[in-house]
Amino acid sequence: MERVLKNKKVLVTGGAGFIGSNLVESLLSSGNRVICLDNFSTGKRESLKEYLNNSDFMLIEGDIRNYDICLEAVTDVEIVFHQAALGSVPRSIKDPISSTDVNIGGFVKMLFASKEAGVRRFIYAASSSTYGDHPGLPKIEERIGKPLSPYGITKYVDELFASNFASTYGIEVIGLRYFNVFGRRQDPHGAYAAVIPLFVKKLMNHESPVINGDGTYSRDFTYVDNVIQANHLAAVVESREAVNQVYNVAHGERTDLNRLFELIRSLAGKYDNEILKINPVYGPGREGDIPHSQASVDKARRLLGYEPVDDVASGLEKAVEWFWKNLK
């Protein structure tokens, strides 16, 4: 990664989470002073333990729904990386109140606190769920449909608030629409675990993973280092055209769930031959799911200089190795 943010004071909300903790690690390694704000509702303390004695790191335990905490966290900060959210489409269908409260209410409080504190740039985790029922492939930033879940609605509303704050208050905003991110530190436990760590955990336990539907649904699975690259680029870009935009962050390829399972089984089978004998079982499709998702990353390439390094195969190889070492 060549163009990285250096020597700045930054805030990472949700910094104990999967993506957030990887971002904290990268920002510290490039010489930044990093504040992490997290309430540990989904993030893990263990993801931050190696940074607690780092003089360039500060942890604030608090909730983005508390405006005073937001104001405290952004004091003297130049750039905010807003990763905090309640993820998961199924979670939002089961509990739309909490998802809305955190993903919209918390987002607006964090954004307004940033404006009040004079934060220069606010980079936030947007979502491919914003595309909703739009049938076009690949997904292009300016063409979206109707969101299909409360989660998708919250992430779209965040984009509207960000755009409004940019024009009303002059704060620089950049939204990064993540597509099915996976990689190290991703949690395989709990009711809303993502498909890749869940598949790996099941296989490690010699259990058959459940594929929702017939396995032909496809996603643009995106290795976490591609996402970290995009956040750095969004922080350092100077072009006025590149600011106050939303970008797809993905690799730009589709992998269906059947193929995904085969790849993971093959990689995990290198560590345990018995895994190669395991087949998936098929269950009902998930409410709120779209059949296919694939991103165009042309806009991010053109305006940010984004160039994804890992495709799904190379990313899975790294991810499975990490899970094998850390989940046992």
Q: Where are the beta strands (DSSP E) in the chain?
A: 9-13, 33-38, 57-61, 79-82, 121-127, 172-178, 181-182, 210-212, 218-219, 222-223, 245-249, 255-256, 281-283
d(CA 169, CA 38): 26
Residue of 323, 254, 276, 295 lying closest to 134 (CA atoms): 295
Query: What pLDDT shows up at residue 80?
Result: 98
Residue of 119, 111, 83, 109 lying closest to 8 (CA atoms): 119
DSSP secondary structure of 163-207: HHHHHHH--EEEEEEE-SEE-TT----STT--HHHHHHHHHHTT-
Per-residue pLDDT of the chain (328 residues; tens, 9 = 90+): 469 999 999 999 999 999 999 999 999 999 999 999 999 999 999 999 999 999 999 999 999 999 999 999 999 999 999 999 998 888 999 999 999 999 999 999 999 999 999 999 999 999 999 999 999 999 999 999 999 999 999 999 999 999 999 999 999 999 999 999 999 999 888 766 689 999 999 999 999 999 999 999 999 999 999 999 999 999 999 999 999 999 999 999 999 999 999 999 999 999 999 999 999 999 988 777 788 999 999 999 999 999 999 999 999 999 999 999 998 6
Reading the block at residue 116, the tokens are 């009040």
Which of 124, 151, 156, 217 is catalytic? The answer is: 151
d(CA 114, CA 109): 8
d(CA 235, CA 233): 5
d(CA 124, CA 316): 25
DSSP SS3 for 73 = helix
247 classed as catalytic: no
d(CA 46, CA 283): 33
List Cα–Cα distances, 139 to 24, 34, 231, 250, in angstroms: 29, 33, 20, 11
Cross-strand partners of 247: 176
d(CA 198, CA 194): 6
The C-alpha angle 158, 39, 224, rounded to 5 degrees, equals 65
Structural domains of the chain, ranges and CATH numbers in brackets: 9-181+223-252+296-309 (3.40.50.720)
d(CA 311, CA 134): 25
Residue of 43, 85, 79 lying closest to 61 (CA atoms): 43
